[in-house]
Every structure is written in C-alpha cells, then in structure tokens.
Amino acid sequence: MISADALAGLGPTFAAQAGELLAPLVEAMTAPGEIAAESLELAGSGWAAMLDVHKAADLVWLAQLTGATLDPGNPAQQRAQLLAHEAWSRGTVRALRASLETALTGLKRVLISEREDNPWRTSIRVYESELPPGTTIDDIAAIAERNRPAGITFSCAVITEESYASVEVSAETYAAAEASAGTYATAEP
C-alpha cells in the first residue's frame, strides 16, 4: 500500500509529533495513487495496458483521463464509446466547423481562416442571414471556445451579405469600383 509506505517514510518521530490525524491525511493524499496502483495490478502487463482501450481493466478511470462519460453497459460498448469519443477530434478545424454549424440555419456557412496574422490566431466568420433570431456573435464565440486548441485565440465576426443591387448603388461603374478599392483584398467587406 502506498499510504503505508508513505507513513513509514515519515518516520516514527514525525508520526508521534503529528498525532492521530496523520494516518487519515496520508491515506487521503495517496488515494489516487492507490487506485492507479490497483488498476496496474489488475492489468498485469504494466502501464501500457492501463492506457490501451482494448486491454484496460478500469474503463471508468481511462474515461476520466480523456474527459469521456461512459454510459452504463457492458465493457464492449464502453470501449466503443471511448474509441468514438468526440473529444479526440477537439481542436481540429473539422470539429470546430461542425460545432458552429449546429448554431446556424440555412446553408450553415462558416469561414475559418487559420493563422490569420500570426500562427496563434484564427478568425471565424459567419453570415448574418444564417444566425437564428436571438443568436449573437458572442454565442458563436462561446461555441468556438469549447473547441479551442490550447494557445489559439479566435476573432469572431458576422458577415453582412451584399447583393449586386447594393454594389451597383455604391459604385455605378467598374471604373468607380476599381478606384474606390484598388485590390480584391481592400474590396472585401
């Protein structure tokens, strides 16, 4: 037992000075190690087997490491849950886009630009016409935050759609449009 080894390591003088509450304190502090040690003994082939979904004896403990919640059921179903756990794709562009699409209507267009102006910045843009009533850009940012990789910052914006009619009003000729925006980059909304 880890707690017994820890108590013995403190020595009899320390144990005498600390009093009767020392043993329960050491037991509480070493309990997570006891659980891991017990699981290791059950696995029989070391730490690698403890962390292998196909060999692990304690699937609940393994689920805690990955942030998964297992449904009650047989071990085969729980292993399948661990393997298909949505958190494995967390932080990927595909997972980010899929989570944001759940908050949109219509075509559900999400424009994601990685490494926009530096390697740690990603911009997310959604169309105003696809936001359900009452949904704000702050709601979109909160959904994105749940799928944010460590170290990455997001900037979220809403794109207001333009039509040919509105462009025609703002620039009556191509020459006028070209004069007002010299490049495609400056012509973007």
Query: Domain residues for 143?
Result: 93-187
Task: Residue 144: count other Cβ atoms within 10 Å of its Cβ.
Answer: 23
Looking at the structure, do residues 20 and 39 belong to the same domain, yes or no? yes
Q: Which helix (H) or strand (E) holds 113?
A: strand 110-113
Looking at the structure, do residues 118 and 158 belong to the same domain, yes or no? yes
| 170 or 129, which is more confident | 129
pLDDT-derived band of residue 32, with 50, 70 and 90 as boundaries?
confident
Looking at the structure, do residues 80 and 12 belong to the same domain, yes or no? yes
Looking at the structure, do residues 63 and 141 belong to the same domain, yes or no? no
Q: Which helix (H) or strand (E) holds 126?
A: strand 121-127
Mark 95-132 as b/e (b = at least 16 C-beta within 10 Å): bbbebbbebbeeeeebebeeeeeeeeebbbbbbeebbe
Q: What is the CATH number of the domain that holds 180?
A: 3.30.300
Mark 155-188 as b/e (b = at least 16 C-beta within 10 Å): ebeeeeeeeeeeeeeeeeeeeeeeeeeeeeeeee
| 186 or 128, which is more confident | 128
Looking at the structure, do residues 180 and 97 belong to the same domain, yes or no? yes
- Looking at residue 183, its pLDDT comes to 66
> Among residues of the chain, what percentage have pLDDT more than 90?
19
Confirm if 62 and 85 have CB atoms less than 8 A apart. Answer: no
> For the chain, what is the mean pLDDT?
79
Spatial strand order in the sheet of 153-159: 110-113, 121-127, 153-159
Q: How far apart are CA 155 and CA 113, in angstroms?
A: 10
Q: How far apart are CA 101 and CA 103, in angstroms?
A: 5
Looking at the structure, do residues 99 and 181 belong to the same domain, yes or no? yes
> What is the number of domains present in the chain?
2
| 40 or 110, which is more confident | 110
Both tokens of residue 84?
A: 């298909």
Looking at the structure, do residues 47 and 99 belong to the same domain, yes or no? no
What 8-state DSSP symbol labels residue 163? -
Looking at the structure, do residues 76 and 151 belong to the same domain, yes or no? no
The closest alpha carbon to 129, from 159, 169, 166, 163, belongs to 159
For 70-173, where are the alpha helices, taking DSSP H only? 75-83, 93-101, 137-146, 164-170
